[in-house]
Chain A
Amino acid sequence: MDAVEVAKDVKRADLLQMYYYLRLTRTLEDRITALYRQGRIMGGVYTSSGMEAISVGYASALRPDDIIAPFHRDMGAFLVRGITPGEVVAQYLGKRTGPTRGKDGNVHFGDLKRGIIAFVSHLADNLPVATGVALAFTLRGESRVVVTNTGDGGTSRGDFHEALNFASVRKLPVVFFCNNNQYAYSTPLSLQMAIPNVVDRAKAYAMPGEIVDGNDLAAVYLAARRAIDRARAGEGPTFIECKTMRMHGHSEHDSAKYVPRELFEEWKKKDPILKAEHMLKELGYADETTFKEVEERVKKEVEAGVEFAEQSPLPEGTETLEGVFAAEDEVQS
């Protein structure tokens, strides 16, 4: 986005805060990848490397009492909502201090106190769930909003259709993001849908849709803010397609040989962190010294998180049996 335009609409402090989360997300996920390569992670690793601007951008546009229902490329949103690097690493290590106490792995976690609904592997399952969150707000006359996200592949599922249709019919306060990163595991967009842009799907629901450069932090943030404002004003849902590129395999075990190398080279130049730094410099909001400071800060935070997680206990085997049902006196949010 044009820096002058950004300066009109976004505060310096907000931009710097979002830049910090971009760096924290990248550093944390790089560190988790390194741990995986050392054989210290349980299970798979699914990162948002090269796509961090999307989830940092939308999560930064929300109020604390709003809700997110993210997917597995949304680490930035978790961090913006207050999940700590230590909790994330503990989750990846299957530790009891992780948000699921070892019951689930990697990015499959949530925390209602911080307004996060846990991701389900079945892509698009969380979209109908998000419409229900929005429905609860509408029923109670609250001015809260829910943002949910899925990938390009997720939009091929029936639940995507059912959710967008219902949300639009009832004008629910929900914003549907789509992280279009060109590949669903190994399947390219051309084999996923016959339309050139995912956003074309929104027309079928009479839902406003928008295409955004998913690697442009300010553009994502501003698009999210517009859609969230619309939802909060009772004007219904919006669909936002963020064009980006998955800069690695589906997960760390996948070398992504099916992706032409030129595509990676092309998108490397559009890295969201580089773009954000360029913009911040152009606006005179930050310089190399600031970037270095942020880098040092996030490194420290991530290392502290890794240490916390590694020192945390694993669950006992018998904890397997706990928590299948909620107790009678369990308090609802």
Chain B
Amino acid sequence: MTTTSVEHEVTYLEAISEALDEEMARDERVFLMGEDIGPYGGAFRITEGFQKKYGEWRVLDTPLSESGFVGAAIGAAMMGMRPVVEMQFADFISCAFDQITEVAAKNHYRWGAAVPMVIRAPFGGGVHGGPFHSECPEGWFFHSPGLKLVAPSTPYDAKGLLKAAIRDNNPVIYFEHKFLYRRVKAILPTEDYIVPIGKADVKRAGRDISVITYAAMVHQALEAAEQLTKEGIELEVVDLRTLVPLDKETIYDSVRKTSKAIVLHEDNKTGGIGAEIAALLAEECFDCLDGPIHRIAAPDTPVPFSTPLEEFFLPKVNDVVAAARKLAAY
């Protein structure tokens, strides 16, 4: 633990780098694998300079081989290592789907062997990435018991959740939002900290409507809240931070207070995490709801490339504002 370093502002991206660096320095079992993460420093430069500091084997450039290196991470994890693998883009995680859902996720349940590993998955749109560099694939894994899923929205959470993921004894998929990489900044504590997996965070308290969301959409919700406060509508923004295990209590507490809920995510609408949250609210909070549960999500299409198409595709501040006004009328 260090308290000597100087406080400084970091981006979301730098927060991820710091977490990796500090965990590698703290625990020699931690090592990194992925495509172009060595001398090149990764597609987004998150591991820039790491190979110089930690060597060729602890910052291991792999062949173009997602299934291969995720499988290798599982094997190394079972041998007591703490691998962190980087998907260059979360979209490519589909190549490793089988290793993740069949081997990593079921391993402990089947025969008791823990798989402490992290898969970093740069996800999300708004960066003109098109159908193969913008996906939100968390829904696939939300449905696979045995995986933990986290998706931070701020530099503080990005660092704390990555540290917690690396220290966890289970396979954790760490969804880092590309749109936030250089757009959000914060001054972080100088001492070592983690953000516990499984704990949501109320990013803004409000009495009227709960907006349950995560990752980049937290910022859309916060902006909508800022606008609506002028109209006398107070949104409460619940940032899930962890998708599995879901912090149901925080969700229920918020909705029991506000009696109205908007579920907001960037992933496609059908069968998304929002659908599960809406179902949970219908099961557990039906008695206290004063209006219908609203879901705001991307349409059921791949993520399109061209600016007007992508703008149409992504949920926006105005969508939240409009939904909130409608709900406020109940």
By a beta-carbon cutoff of 8 Å, the part of chain A in contact with chain B is 67, 69, 99-100, 103-104, 108-112, 117-118, 120, 122, 125-139, 146, 158-159, 162-163, 165-166, 169-170, 323-328, 330, 332-333
Contacts and interface: CB of A to CB of B under 8 A. Distances in A.
Contacts of B77: 132
Nearest to A99: B111
Interface stretch (B102-110, B214-222, B271-279, B290-298): B102-110
Contacts of B83: 132
19 contacts: A100-B110, A108-B111, A118-B111, A125-B99, A129-B78, A131-B75, A132-B73, A132-B76, A132-B83, A133-B79, A159-B98, A159-B99, A165-B63, A166-B63, A166-B72, A325-B108, A326-B114, A328-B168, A328-B169
A100 B73 CA distance: 22
A325 B76 contact: no
Nearest to B112: A323
Contacts of A112: 78, 113
Contact of B57 (A120, A139, A159): A139
B81 A162 contact: no
A104 B108 CA distance: 11
Contacts of B108: 323-326
A133 B62 CA distance: 15
B74 A324 contact: no
Nearest to A325: B170
Contacts of A165: 63, 65, 68
B281 to A, nearest CB: 23
A169 B63 contact: yes
B124 interface: no
B238 to A, nearest CB: 23
B315 to A, nearest CB: 31
Nearest to B169: A326
B65 A109 contact: no
Interface string B116-152: 1000000000000000000000000000011010000
B78 A117 contact: yes
A109 B111 contact: yes
B75 to A, nearest CB: 3
Nearest to A112: B113
Given A162-B63, A162-B65, A131 B72 contact: yes
B12 interface: no
Contacts of A132: 71-79, 83
Nearest to A67: B79
A138 B263 CA distance: 47
A28 to B, nearest CB: 20
Contacts of B116: 326, 332
B81 to A, nearest CB: 5
A333 B99 contact: no
A128 B70 CA distance: 8
A104 B109 CA distance: 9
A132 to B, nearest CB: 3
Interface residues of B, number: 43
Most buried by B among A99, A125, A139, A159: A139
Contacts of B72: 128-129, 131-132, 135, 166
Contacts, number: 146
A125 B31 CA distance: 22
Interface string B205-225: 000000000000000000000
A62 to B, nearest CB: 15
A325 B169 CA distance: 8
Contacts of A159: 67-68, 71, 98-99
B113 A166 contact: no
Nearest to B66: A162
A330 B114 contact: yes
Contacts of A129: 71-72, 74-75, 78, 99, 103
Nearest to A146: B75
A162 B74 CA distance: 14
> 7 smallest A-B Cβ distances: which pairs?
A128-B71, A132-B75, A162-B68, A132-B72, A136-B79, A326-B114, A326-B169
Contact of B113 (A110, A126, A325): A110
A131 B102 CA distance: 17
A128 B78 CA distance: 13
B146 A325 contact: yes
A103 B110 contact: yes
B58 interface: yes
B189 interface: no
Contacts of A332: 80, 114, 116, 169
Given A110-B113, A132-B71, A159-B98, 18 more contacts: A100-B110, A103-B111, A125-B71, A127-B71, A128-B72, A128-B75, A128-B99, A129-B99, A132-B72, A132-B76, A132-B78, A162-B67, A166-B65, A323-B108, A324-B146, A326-B108, A326-B116, A333-B80
Contacts of B62: 166
A162 B73 CA distance: 13
A111 B77 CA distance: 15
A16 B235 CA distance: 77
